[in-house]
Amino acid sequence: MQENVRFDFLEPHRANEKDNIGKAKGFAAYAKENPGVGRIQLIRLEKDITGKPRFKRLDMTMSEVREAVLSAINNDELDHLFDKFGMFDF
């Protein structure tokens, strides 16, 4: 019997940390080189449109997200990518 193993990389990270762009780029590069890996996400706690705190995820397995992250040059651009591509948990 063959077992399938799936690895997920879920990184909860505060937006004010200085290493955000470096971690994001590292995850994006890893996702690009390892398409068989499960979820690869940066996670932040943000408020939704009702003001409720919820987890928002940036999914590095999505090619559009990954390429945008790899092109970003600073944390402000990464913040914008969370606004543009980030998805709240249900």
Q: DSSP for 12-75, please give it.
A: E--TT-TTHHHHHHHHHHHHHH-TTS--EEEEEEEE-TTS-EEEEEEETTSHHHHHHHHH--SH
Instruction: List 87's β-bridge partners, or say none.
Output: 57
In a domain, 77, yes or no: yes
For residue 1, pLDDT beyond 70:
no
Which of 4-18, 20-34, 40-54, 72-86 is predicted least confidently?
A: 4-18
In a domain, 4, yes or no: no
In a domain, 2, yes or no: no
The reported pLDDT for the residue numbered 36 is 83
In a domain, 43, yes or no: yes
pTM: 0.87
In a domain, 1, yes or no: no
